[in-house]
Chains A and B, each alone.
Chain A
């Protein structure tokens, strides 16, 4: 294929933005995402970008209906996110965002597991720089924790790929059969998909990112994992239950949050649960539902992060206990946020209603009543906290004296475009259905479905106002599974200080073991540079894993 890889457009764009003078930066910031979107639309189906490594054929560009869909929506959110952040003068977050988008596109267009792994790790590094963009102490700490967790996930993925290849599996990225290697790969994907208990990095890191970077973060890492799960593990029953539990876990923890972006972060966990569940069900309707929900989620979650980001940007506050009464001074922001909130809540005529219905209908058709109930209760919790609690205590409740005004024009343009897409896909689901991997034989707009949905939403709103006093946010933070590695990390550091030599020796042994495994997997003439780069990552991750196991035991 002679077409341009959309990911490379972003990577070249990142390099150009990094070296461009200030006057050229804004035009570049607009041109690069438009070109990448054009590349994602026009790149022809097929396999290309072939490389040969140690006798293995690698494919950097595999275009089919799955990669096209994810590539397209990544490119769309890349454009919207860039417009949203156009006013930002700092160069670093723009470069990191472009590199991050380029790596995410590289991952979804990868035709083999090794290319996927390389993009996967580069994506983690690029997103780290996006998270620490504010350069606060909290952002740096969260960024390092994020990087360690993702290095651990990457190590699992690499170990899984090695085991898979050693067992005679293909390096090409397709459906993976049950084996030890596949299980490790699944675990690696689960880290990025934020499947509990491997999810805490997400609500830990995303709220610390700059408001412009959070739009990219909310869209790319978890959805790349959803894409990878759909590719490799469609129909795996484990994912049905993991997804259903995720959906409920996210909404329950979201109820405890005081920080508005952390609240939304827990709802990423919840919404990705719907997708994971759909992938686990594995029927054509469920897979299309998962893909549709990924597309819709990227749009409405990006919009929600834009809306809350505008609040944080204009007020300097992010806690519900410090906010309130902003509707009069930020009416457009409230309107755009409301579109995102209605979409995620599954209100008819908004895109989430269509995509969520596909996943729930797939569960119903497979007679998975418990799963259907869990997903339905999660939907209630989503409307309760994102559709009612957050806007009530941020925009509509009593004011707390926060200085506020509408955000800059570029932020409003991006929010308007995202809101328009949410409504467009909600009123014309055929546009969405046309992009999905399987034909969809489900009509969301029947009297029965619309009327029952309206009843659930009205019932939830009645419950909200009935329990309004209990729903007031408290000035608290929540303990989640990150406590294990926060506490474990502290103990590990203390033990390293006490016996630094022993730890270094253990790291060297583990690094050598990792390198040796890698060499055996790739043949007699290993690419030593690659081993040199990955070995320390493997060592650090395995050391962390060992420490966790010891602590848990």
Chain B
């Protein structure tokens, strides 16, 4: 797992470094495209936010125990 994480960090850092070296920031480019590494941070933050929101919705009651497979009605109400 550690090696996999290191490889991913290295990829992100390399891409950010290449962006810094090869891509001059244009006048109309928003900061999230212009700052090298910002997109990697957005990736981590976006991923975390989606997982937390989904888990939160599940805990709020949108996810129910699967009684006998995913085909069953979520609330066990009906099968009509």
Binding site for B on A (CB under 8 A): 136-139, 141-142, 144-145, 207-208, 251-253, 255-256, 258-259, 262, 318-319, 364, 369, 376-377, 380-381, 384, 447-448, 451-467, 470-471, 474-480, 482-483, 486-487, 489-490, 493
Q: Which of B15, B73, B79 touches A451 (beta carbons < 8 Å)?
A: B15
Is the CB–CB distance between B75 and A476 below 8 Å? no
Residues on the A chain within 8 Å of B42, using CB: 376, 380, 456, 459
Docked complex: B10-60 residues within 8 A CB-CB of A: 11-12, 15-16, 18-19, 22-23, 29-30, 33, 37-51, 53-55, 57-58
Distance in Å: Cβ of B78 to nearest Cβ of chain A: 4
Check A470 against B51 for contact (C-beta < 8 Å). Answer: yes
Bound CA span A213–B3, Å: 41
What residues of chain A lie closer than 8 Å to B61, measured between beta carbons? 479
Closest CB in chain B relative to A504 CB, distance in Å: 18
B16 to chain A, nearest CB (A): 6
Cβ A138 vs Cβ B51 within 8 A: no
Residues of B within 8 A of A447 (CB): 18-19, 22-23
List A contacts of B54 (CB < 8 A).
252-253, 255-256
In-complex Cβ contact of A477 among B30, B50, B64 (8 A): B64
- For B50, give its contact among A141, A381, A465 (CB under 8 Å): A381
Report yes or no: B48 in contact with A467, Cβ–Cβ below 8 A.
yes
The minimal Cβ–Cβ distance linking A467 to chain B, given in whole angstroms, is 5
A474 and B63 form a contact (CB under 8 A): yes
Contact call B43/A457, Cβ cutoff below 8 A: yes
Q: Are B78 and A455 in contact (CB under 8 A)?
A: no
Q: In the complex, what distance in Å separates the CA atom of A474 from the CA atom of B72?
A: 16
A136, A384, A487: residue with the most chain B Cβ atoms closer than 10 Å: A384
- Interface residue from B23, B37, B71 paired with A136 (Cβ < 8 Å): B71
Residue positions of B touching A, CB distance < 8 A? 1, 4-5, 8-9, 11-12, 15-16, 18-19, 22-23, 29-30, 33, 37-51, 53-55, 57-58, 61-66, 69-75, 77-80
Main secondary structure of the interface of B (DSSP, over half): helix
Q: For residue A467, which residues in chain B have a CB less than 8 angstroms away from its CB?
A: 47-48, 51
Q: A376-B46, A455-B37 in contact; A486/B11 too (CB < 8 A)?
A: no
Rounded to whole angstroms, the CA-CA distance of A141 and B70 in the bound complex is 13
Give B52 Cβ to nearest chain A Cβ, in Å. 8
Q: Are A471 and B46 in contact (CB under 8 A)?
A: no
Query: A471–B52 Cα gap in the complex (Å)?
Result: 10
Instruction: Report if A460-B15 is in contact (Cβ < 8 Å); known contacts: A455-B39, A493-B80.
Output: no
Once the chains are docked, how many angstroms separate the CA of A490 from the CA of B22?
Answer: 62
* Interface pair B18/A451, CB less than 8 Å apart: yes
Contact A490:B78 (CB < 8 A) given known A380-B47, A462-B12 = yes
Shortest distance from the beta carbon of B30 to any chain A beta carbon, whole Å: 7
Could you tell me if B16 and A490 are in contact, using CB atoms closer than 8 angstroms? no
CA A207 to CA B69, docked complex, whole Å: 12
Q: Is there an interface contact between B66 and A252, defined as CB atoms closer than 8 Å?
A: no
CB contacts (< 8 Å) of B45 on chain A: these are 459, 463
Q: Are B40 and A451 in contact (CB under 8 A)?
A: no
Docked-complex contact A476 and B63, CB < 8 angstroms:
yes
Taking a contact as CB atoms under 8 Å apart, the answer to whether B51 and A454 are in contact is no
A selection of 27 A-B contacts at a CB cut-off of 8 Å is A137-B71, A145-B80, A255-B51, A256-B63, A369-B30, A377-B49, A447-B19, A451-B18, A451-B22, A454-B15, A455-B19, A455-B37, A459-B47, A460-B43, A460-B46, A460-B47, A462-B40, A465-B1, A476-B64, A476-B65, A477-B66, A478-B74, A480-B74, A483-B77, A486-B74, A486-B75, A490-B78
Indicate if the CB atoms of B12 and A458 lie closer than 8 Å. Answer: yes
B63 pairs with A455, CB closer than 8 A: no
Taken together as a complex, chains A and B put the C-alpha atoms of A295 and B38 apart, in Å, by 31
Chain A residue numbers with a CB within 8 Å of B40 are: 455-456, 458-459, 462
A36 to B30: give the CA distance in the assembly, Å: 47
Which residues of chain A come closer than 8 Å to B51, judged between CB atoms?
255, 384, 463, 467, 470-471
Contact check, B33 vs A448: say whether CB atoms are below 8 A apart.
yes
Report how far A259 CA is from B63 CA in the complex, Å: 13
Question: How many Å from the CB of A258 to the closest CB on chain B?
Answer: 6
B43 CB to closest chain A CB, in angstroms?
2
In Å, the complex CA distance between A336 and B55 comes to 30
- Asked if A456 and B70 make an inter-chain contact with CB atoms under 8 angstroms apart, the answer reads no
**Complex Cα–Cα for A258 and B43 (A):** 24
* 5 nearest A-B pairs in the assembled complex, by CB-CB distance: A459-B43, A463-B47, A138-B71, A255-B54, A380-B46
Please, how many angstroms separate the alpha-carbon atoms of A480 and B70 in the complex?
Answer: 13
> Cβ of B71 and Cβ of A451 under 8 Å apart?
no
Q: Which residue of B lies closest to A136 (CB)?
A: B71
Please name 4 further chain A to chain B contacts, defined as beta carbons within 8 Å, in addition to the given A456-B39, A487-B78, sorted by A numbering. A137-B71, A458-B9, A458-B40, A460-B47
**Which residues of chain B come closer than 8 Å to A453, judged between CB atoms?**
39
CA distance A483 to B50 in the complex (A): 23
Tell me whether B71 and A142 are in contact (CB under 8 A).
yes
Q: Which chain A residues border B80 with CB–CB below 8 Å?
A: 141, 144-145, 489-490, 493
CA of A177 to CA of B39, assembled, Å:
40
Contact of A483 with B75 in the complex, beta carbons under 8 Å: yes
Q: CB distance A477 to B33 under 8 Å?
A: no
Minimum CB–CB distance from A179 to chain B (whole Å) comes to 36
The answer to whether A475 and B66 touch across the interface, beta carbons within 8 angstroms, is: yes
What A residues does B19 contact at CB under 8 A?
447-448, 451-452, 455
Contacts of B15 in A (CB 8 A): 451-452, 454-455, 458
- Which of B50, B62, B79 meets A384, CB within 8 Å? B50
Contacts of A262 in B (CB 8 A): 70
A residues within 8 A CB of B69? 138, 319
Q: Please, how many angstroms separate the alpha-carbon atoms of A409 and B46 in the complex?
A: 40
